[in-house]
Structure 1
Amino acid sequence: MDRKTKIALGGGCHWCTEAVFQSLKGVNKVEQGYVASHGINSNFSEAVIVHFQPEKISLKTLIEVHLLTHKSTSNHSMRIKYRSAIYTFSEVQQKEALSLLDEFKSKSDSNIITQVYPFSAFEPSRNEIQNYYRQNPEKPFCKQFINPKLQLLLQHFSNYVNEDNIKHTDQK
């Protein structure tokens, strides 16, 4: 079965998050932009929607990658713009994400602040910054902030990394 599903993830700059998830096998598409939930979290925050094939990469692996590649333990002053979150598209997915997050929290020495919220709305980024890393791998921002995250992927999740998608890193 070639089933596809999606999850939205936010935590840091969406250029970084987009590059990280575009680098993974089993990820078909990454939509970069701004995501909102409900209630006090109804304001938009930088995030991506990751379309993936669960038979190739699990929700557990995606959440683990997400926690590793952004400051999931830091409640810094920019958290409104960069909400540390997992946005779910169904009640079943929400229960699974909460369970997985609890599992990761119980195994962590640090206080993971990432929360699970129901997805409400998405606004895409403007076209000129879509696929930012793929279009600008030599820019200082990419070298300073994105390449180290891709290096973390290679160190911790090499069997899930599509190396053709990270060929710009000088740290391979």
Structure 2
Amino acid sequence: MTEQRVHRIGFGGGCHWCTEGVFQALRGVQAVEQGFLQSEAPSDAWAEGVIVTFDPAAISLATLAEVHLRTHSAKSGYSPAGRYRSAIYVFEQSQRPDAEAAIARFAAESAEPARTLVLPCTGFRPSDARFQNYYRTDPDRPFCRRYIDPKLAYIRTHFAAVALPAAPRA
């Protein structure tokens, strides 16, 4: 019997409610833990983000990284050391080349530097239970309609091969 290895990667960049909803909408993603991630100094301040558990046979780390880069402000100027640090948090050094390659492709395509960092994940604290599964528990909240729905529409258009179908609204 072959043991299936769990693959995990962290993403930070903007509100973790949005980031959680984005990754929950992808095939091959087994779990999304929303909360605050930490890395080594100088990036050791807790920042909003998610940890994604995924099946690499169904979705690659490169695809996850590209979805991440295209669904948050990977080029904008908010502080990379602050609460909304744009980062890909690796759990193994073997993940670093795929993450760095995705960032390089994104920057070359846009002809602008991406400020997204590749950092080792050194800590995680989950969000309060009341914020977990934020989009799934009430997609009709004004925040969800304004900020998350457009990201999900983008995924269904540009990443259709790995996008889950839209859930029917009540």
Shift of 1:168: 5.0
Does the Cα contact within 8 Å between 1:89 and 1:118 map onto a contact in 2?
yes
Instruction: Please name the residue that 1:5 is paired with.
Output: 7
For residue 120 of structure 1, report the CA deviation from its aligned partner. Answer: 0.5
The count of corresponding residues between Structure 1 and Structure 2 is: 168
3-state SS, counterpart of residue 161 of structure 2: helix
Give the 3 Å change call, closer, same or farther, for CA 37–48 of structure 1 in structure 2: same
1:97 aligns with 99
Normalising by structure 2, report the TM-score.
0.92
Correspondence for 2:83:
81
Q: Distance in 2 between matches of 1:153 and 1:58?
A: 15
CA–CA distance in structure 1, aligned partners of residues 142 and 105 of structure 2:
36
Shift of residue 167, structure 1, vs aligned partner: 1.7
Give the helix-richer structure, 1 or 2.
1
Q: Please, which of 67, 70, 74 is the counterpart of residue 68 of structure 1?
A: 70
Matches within 5 A, 1:1-172: 2-76=4-78, 80-163=82-165, 166-167=166-167
Offset of 1:91 from its aligned partner? 1.3
- Cα deviation per residue 1:6-44 (whole Å; 9 max; x = unaligned)? 100000100000000001000000000000000111110
Instruction: Give the partner amino acid of 1:39.
Output: A
C-alpha RMSD of the superposition = 1.8
Structure 2 unaligned runs (5+)?
none
Report Cα offsets for 1:65-97 as digits up to 9, x if no partner.
000100001012586110000000111112332
* In structure 2, distance between residues paired with 1:107 and 1:148: 22
Distance 1:111 1:53, change over 3 A: same
Runs of at least 4 residues of structure 1 off by over 6 A?
none
DSSP 3-state at the match of 1:39: coil
- For normalisation by structure 1, the TM-score amounts to 0.91
